[in-house]
Amino acid sequence: MELFGGAGHSSKIIEKLSADGLLIGIDRDEEALKAAKQRLKDYKNVKYIHRKSR
> pTM of this prediction?
0.74
Q: Which of 46, 37, 48 is nearest to 15 (CA)?
A: 46
| Burial call 9-33: b when 16+ CB within 10 Å, e when fewer | ebeeebeeeeeeeebebebebeebb
> What are the pLDDT digits (tens) for 1-51?
555 556 678 888 889 999 899 999 888 888 888 888 998 999 999 999 998
Write the Ramachandran bin of 7: left for phi over 0, alpha for psi from -120 to 50, otherwise beta.
Answer: left
